[in-house]
A and B are shown apart, each in its own frame.
Chain A
Amino acid sequence: MSERKLALSDDILLRIEKPVRYIGGEYNSVMKDPAKVSVRFAMCFPDVYEIGMSHLGIQILYDMFNSMGDVWCERVYSPWVDLDAVMREQHIPLFALESQDPVKEFDFLGITLQYEMCYTNVLQVLDLAQIPVNAADRGEDCPIVIGGGPCSYNPEPLADFFDIFYIGEGETRYRDLLNLYKECRKQGLHRVQFLRRAAKLPGMYVPRFYDVTYKEDGTIERFFPMEEGIPETVCKEIVMDMTDTYYPTKPVIPFIKVTQDRVVLEIQRGCIRGCRFCQAGQLYRPVRERDVETLKKYALEMLENTGYEEISLSSLSSSDYSKLPELVDFLIEECSKRHVNISLPSLRIDAFSLDVMSKVQDVKKSSLTFAPEAGSQRLRNVINKGLTTEAILKGAALAFEGGWTRVKLYFMLGLPTETEEDIRGIAELSNQIAATYFDTVPKERRAGGRVQIVASTSFFVPKPFTAFQWAAQCTKEDFLDKAYLTRTAISEQLNQKSIKYNWHEADASVMEGVLARGDRRLCNVIRKVYEKGGFYDAWGEYYDNDRWLQSMEECGLSVSFYAHRERSLDEIFPWDFIDCGVTKEFLKQEWEKAKREENSENCRQKCQGCGAARFGGGICFEPRQSSDTD
């Protein structure tokens, strides 16, 4: 094969940071002959290469599309700030990595939406690709721009920019969509005719066929399809058989160091816990496990196909995977033969996991992570995080006995019903853990003296499809007051020297809150922010809060309306037209229970009737365990 011609000249590549981001050619990247495929699909993660390449979802879809003989899927990521400037200056169209061909020549441009602060990068990608940012302006030759990922569960703030949103898991419905596309092309149909038919496919939301009207008070009066035959509700797509489906056993391996530099094994989807703040836990219901024998096979295949020296298990709550002990024993044995490290995030801290972790990690150098999320038992009950103080301290004691000396604690500030006492609880809990160390480990065995506890707080953002979607988000000033209170409370603790406290900027959290529960009117805001030069908003050094505030004002919209307003129970939400399995009624009940500080049992303990059982599979149909250790 002759040498691939790069889209960027040597002059540019030698001038910019990390030119490797833009050359493609990585091991396991797929090259096809464009003349021999019917559909060219550009799959985009709207952030810089290193972030995008760490995302498992794109690897799964890349593998899926390229396994189709008539499709060639290539990758595209946001050019970094330096190249962005050059591309604009020299009118270089955004290109896909494998072929280096301009994205505007492709049939589809798929953009995954993982977090709200990447929305301006979506516009950057479209703009650099020389595709009209507004879907309504796109001509017959433009690629179909399709969005997916968790943020597509409230697609409205981006409704102007996408032709289609794919709601749900990507493994199921693309074949139908591409067949439809090919059929329409063969018949010589226009773009809008294709989109009209696509809108009738399960899982597809085509914004141009829906309209929305507002009441005096700004809330939604009606959200409705504008034509006959366009569905009123879009039901999410879900893979019911997690074992007999695509999995990238030959993931693309970047040359440069990326955030996720290891084999990733997705062991299950969904989560049984039902924590009330957690959107992912609701969206991916019901819990579906991958068969353990298949996982073992994938693990070995992937290590062979990649040469990675580390393997990691990915799921929302790995401790709940029913065959975890068996899988972990297998991995420990196989990995020690192969000089492979094992990484096990999202584990509950108990005797089992500590035993496992001591076998796979250097106890002295690694830290144990607890995520109490709230400082008091009362508030933990409100958010339905079943982790008791007793369990945390017991786990900590076991850990310290086992030789760990570093503990990380994750909390949120601004949860509904939070009081000062709850916040002080963060400091007190951190202190109790430090005290446990000194109680558990006798002086002689304290290598280096002190235990290191790092407490981090993030600011709570209410999300769609959670019990807290009605909650008011705190103002930036309230957030900072709470962080200050936390810091003061920690400094007053007996063991304050052993505790370090980290908190983050509040500005971006509030704007995230605006976008998360936003409606279509926010499209104008996002466009304005982008036109004013805003992008890479997920990066602290580029996020400009004033630019967002100014844009909101210029569009006549209020931050308070979207973020700080508590919703009434009968309000119509911009995302109500989507069916994610979990019913609004169930979420209302959970909201009420939260206010009463009542726990709900997890899926394995007792079905709460959330609605996900109607998908006919997963944990909903497995025999319940009567006991559960927390």
Chain B
Amino acid sequence: MSSILAIFKRELAAYFATPLAYVFIVIFLFAMGAFTFYIGRFYETGVASLAVFFGYHVWLYLFLVPAIGMRLWAEERKSGTIELLLTLPIPIWASVAGKFLAAWAFTGVALALTFPIWITVNYLGDPDNGVIVASYVGSFLMAGAYLAISAAISATTSNQVIAFVVSVVICFLFTISGAPLVVDFFKAWAPLSLVDTVASFSFMTHFQTIARGVIDLRDIVFFFSLITLFLGINVVVVDLKKAG
């Protein structure tokens, strides 16, 4: 556990030691604002709810989370520090967990900094704060799932651009797997159970359930299992690369 903590602290400090953290947070907040106020017409709808705001999280995460995740392993491979990391007396899973948790905490910080909009909506009207809390929890879990995917992809390459592009594509597939585009494609030929399975992997569906204020255990379990699965894949990838 102490080694996870050491890795976690180093990684988190690394974000703030470079402009990366500040650039990311500013762009994240700016994009959130732009989507919510201009495209989502937050004021014009005249509803005291953050549904519009949370609705765009899926699409923002799709690009911004792989941007955080792409460096996790690819950068270490490029700079050679992975050789140092993997020859320190800690298990691979501790490095994987420490890195993931630091990146997740970082996205958590960025997400938490959107709090002014929560205050605004409370000032303007009388929103259901329970729903908003649930939405924040759901959004954070979803970010974790995107991040776990990106981290596993990052472990396969020393090229951050490749890590980013492949991560975005895979995250996109998980995002839209419940959308008519995908479901219809499978419906034409696949048995119903397969269609349902594919659709059940949709981040959008699971997030929207939570964002409605319904914290269903199944949705929580879904995100946590996905995170665990991809962190497991991450460990396996790092380990397999040792064979050369």
Whether A and B are associated in the same complex: the answer reads: no
